[in-house]
Amino acid sequence: MTEKFTGSFTQQEPIPEAGIAAALEVMRSGRLHRYNTAEGEVAQAALLEEEFAEKVGAKYCLAVASGGYAMATALRAIGVKPGDKVLTNAFTLAPVPGAIAAVGAVPVFVGVTDTLVLDLDDLADKASQADVLLLSHMRGHQCDMEALMRLCDGRGIRVIEDCAHTMGAAWKGKPSGRWGLAGCYSCQTYKHVNAGEGGLLVTDDADVAARAIIMSGSYMLYERHRAAPPPEAFEKIRYETPNISGRMDNLRAAILRPQLADLETQCARWNDRYRTLEDGLRGCAGLSIIERPEEETIVGSSFQFLLKDWTTDAVSALVTRCETRGVELKWFGGAEPKGFTSRYDSWRYVDAPRMPAADRILAGIVDLRVPLTFSIADCKLIARIIRQEASRLYQAET
C-alpha cells in the first residue's frame, strides 16, 4: 500500500491559554491602543518590548505592525533615501526587497551558495555599490556572521538583519539580529511566535531607536516606552522625523508575551522535527541535505533540500508526486512565482542583471514547512514519501 500523509502544512498550534487569557483581559479593558493606558498601567506592547530586548541582549526594542514594516523603518532610521542602493539576498522572500522599495531605494542582489546562505565572495565583488546590507537569514540559514561583519566593517557597510526565520537562533552563541546595526523579526502566523501579524525591531543605537519609535507613530508619547532611549535622544529628531504609523497594539502583544517566554522549548521541538527529516533524507540519491555548521544554533521551523542540476520537468514531477501523497513542497526554481515562493527575477520593479551561479542554486531549492502540529512520526512519514519519490525520479533520469 502506498503511504499518504494526511496532516496540514498550514495548521499551527493554538495560542497558549495564558495568551488567550491575556488577550481577553485586554479586550475587556477596551484599551487596545498601546498608548491608551490607565494611571499607573504599563501597556502590554511596552512589556513585550522590554522582555524581548532582555531576551536577545539589546538595549532597545520596538514592537510594530509587521516584520516588513520593521525592515523599512530600520532602513529609514539609518538614513536610506530614495534612489540609494541597498545590498540584499537573491534568495529571500518578497517582503525583503519590498522593504527596500518601500523607502524608494534600489535592491542590489547578492548570490546564494549551495548551503543557502549569502555568497560572501559575491558580496565582496558588489560591496562598492552600496553602504547598506539588508541581510536575510532566509529560511533560518545563517552565513558565517563573523566573516560577514569583518567584510562589511572593512568596507563601511551597515548591516540590518532580517530575522523573520531566526528568532531564537544564534551564530557562535550570539543571537540572530544582534550582529548588525539593527535586527528585524516577524510575528506572523508562520513564524516562531504567532500574533497573525506583527514585528519587532532591536538595536543598540539610540538615534536609530528614537527615530524608529517616532516613525512608528508614538507622537510625543515616547516616554511610555520602557525599552527605549532616554528622553534627550528624542529632543531634536522628534521635530524632523515623520510619523509613518505602524504600531503594534496591546492585543497582539498580550498574545505574544507567553509565547516569547516559551520560545526555547518551542525551538527545541522544531529542531527535533527538523533532525528527523534530515535523518530520513540523508543519503537519498540525487538529493542534497543542507549541512548546518557547528557554529550555528538553528530553529528548524522549515526544511530545505537541493536537487542539484535536476531538469525543471523532474523537479516539477517530484512536487506533483509528493502533493498527491499529501506532502506540500515549495519550489524556488519555477518560472513563475507561486504562493510565497518568488526570487530575484520575479520582482520586475527591479532591473536586476542575470546571476547564472545563483540561478543554478535557486533552480534546485525545495522547501517545506514544519509546523509543531506535526509529530515525530509524521516527519518520518514525510521523509519516507519524499525519499521514495525522489529516488524513483532520479533513477529514471539517470
pLDDT of residue 398: 76
- 315 and 209 in one domain? no
Cβ density class 70-85: b for 16+ within 10 Å, e for less = bbbbbbbbbebeeebb
pLDDT score recorded for residue 336: 84
- Report the distance separating Cα 327 and Cα 330, nearest Å: 10
Residue 6 lies in a domain: no
- Kindly report the average pLDDT of the chain as a whole number: 97
- In tens, the pLDDT along 174-192 reads 999 999 999 999 999 999 9
Q: Which three cell numbers stand for residue 192?
A: 516562531
End residue of a domain, out of 209, 235, 261: 261
Q: What pLDDT, in 10s, does the model give residues 44-55?
A: 999 999 999 999
Beta-strand runs (E) in the chain: 60-64, 85-89, 106-110, 132-136, 158-162, 170-171, 174-175, 182-186, 199-203, 288-289, 296-297, 302-306, 330-331, 365-369
In the listed set 242, 261, 280, which residue is the last one of a domain according to the structure?
261
Give domain status of residue 337, yes or no. Answer: yes
Cα separation values, 389 from 55, 279, 383, Å: 42, 17, 10
Region of residue 124 (left: phi > 0; alpha: psi -120 to 50; beta: else): alpha
Residue 178 lies in a domain: yes
Q: Do residues 281 and 239 both lie within one domain?
A: no
- Tell me: do 74 and 181 sit in the same domain: yes
- Say which CATH number the domain at 102 has: 3.40.640.10
Same domain, 297 and 237: no
The HSE-up count of residue 61 (CA atoms within 13 Å, CB side) is 23
What domain range includes position 133? Answer: 17-261
Give 243: exposed, middle or buried? Use CB within 10 Å, 0-12, 13-18, 19+: exposed
The stretch 149-175 carries a mean pLDDT of 98
Q: Is 7 domain-assigned? A: no
Are 156 and 273 in a shared domain? no
Would you say 200 and 63 are in contact if contact means Cβ atoms under 8 Å apart? yes
Check whether residue 235 and residue 268 sit in a common domain.
Answer: no
- Determine the average pLDDT of the residues in 200-211: 98
- pLDDT-derived band at 396 (thresholds 50, 70, 90) equals confident
Shared domain check, 143 and 221? yes
Please state the rounded mean pLDDT for residues 312-338.
Answer: 94
Give the span between the Cα atoms of 185 and 190, in whole angstroms. 12
Would you state the pLDDT for residue 253?
98
Q: Give the whole-angstrom CA distance, residue 171 versus residue 165.
A: 14
145 and 179 part of one domain: yes
Contact 120, 92 (CB under 8 A): no
**Model confidence over 354-393: pLDDT tens digits?**
999 999 999 999 999 999 999 999 999 999 999 999 999 9
Which of 236, 261, 286 finishes a domain? 261
pLDDT digits (tens, 9 = 90+) for 12-38: 999 999 999 999 999 999 999 999 999
What SS3 state is found at 338?
strand
pLDDT of residue 1: 63
256 domain residue, yes or no: yes
Asked whether residue 3 is domain-assigned, the answer is: no
Number of structural domains in the chain: 2
The rounded distance, in Å, linking the Cα atoms of 213 and 202 is 11
Strand partners, 170: 175, 297
The answer to whether residues 25 and 155 belong to one domain is: yes
Same domain, 188 and 119: yes
CA–CA gap between residue 113 and residue 116 (Å, rounded): 5
The stretch 268-279 carries a mean pLDDT of: 98
pLDDT attached to residue 34:
97
In a domain, 386, yes or no: yes
212 and 236, same domain (yes or no): yes
Q: Are residues 180 and 267 in the same domain?
A: no
What CA–CA distances, in Å, run from 58 to 159, 180, 182?
16, 11, 10
Q: What is the mean predicted confidence (pLDDT) over 83-103? A: 97
